[in-house]
Amino acid sequence: MSVLNESERVPELLTQDEAIGLLRLDSLGLAKPKCALRHLWRTRQIGYVKVGGKVLIPRVAIVAYLERQTVGALDGGVVLDRRGTVGSNGRRGGPEPRDRR
């Protein structure tokens, strides 16, 4: 018998090594991928939980981080900046370009 109902989902927690693999920090040629991951959670770009003194990262936190960092959304060709906002001209940030005549 399960303690949780089917509607109650437990978040999938990843170890630091699994999170590094999912973010591909190890394949980017970083000298210390664990330090890069630690930077992401210390700057609150990725959430984490501590269980038994170990840092675990929810998979949804990594997916949300990657969605926020994606530049060039596929929704109608609108390009988003790193904050997820659209510039007034539909391009990444900045003012409208002037006519050069």
Whether 35 and 78 share a structural domain? no
- Rounded Cα–Cα distance for residues 46 and 18 (Å): 14
Asked whether residue 3 is domain-assigned, the answer is no
pLDDT at 88: 47
Please give the residue range of the domain that contains residue 46: 13-69
Q: Do 58 and 83 reside in the same domain of the chain?
A: no
Q: Output the pTM of the full model.
A: 0.60
For the chain, state the CA radius of gyration: 19
Going residue by residue through the chain, which has 101 residues, state the pLDDT in tens, using 9 for 90 and above.
Answer: 455 555 566 679 999 999 999 999 988 888 899 999 999 989 999 999 999 999 999 999 999 998 888 876 555 555 555 555 555 444 444 555 566 65
Asked whether residue 21 is assigned to any structural domain, the reply reads yes
Based on the domain organization, do 64 and 19 belong to the same domain?
yes
Residue at 6 is within a domain: no
Q: Would you state the pLDDT for residue 92?
A: 47
pLDDT at 36: 93
Assigned domain for 55 exists: yes
The reply to whether 65 and 17 lie within a common domain is: yes
> Does one domain contain both 61 and 24?
yes
Query: Residue 7: its pLDDT value, please?
Result: 56
Query: Is 62 in the same domain as 98?
Result: no
Total tally of structural domains belonging to the chain: 2
Question: What does the DSSP 8-state code read for residue 23?
Answer: H
| Predicted pLDDT of residue 84 | 55
Residue-level pLDDT at 69: 85
Strand partners, 54: 51
Tell me phi and psi for residue 23, to 5 degrees.
-80, -10
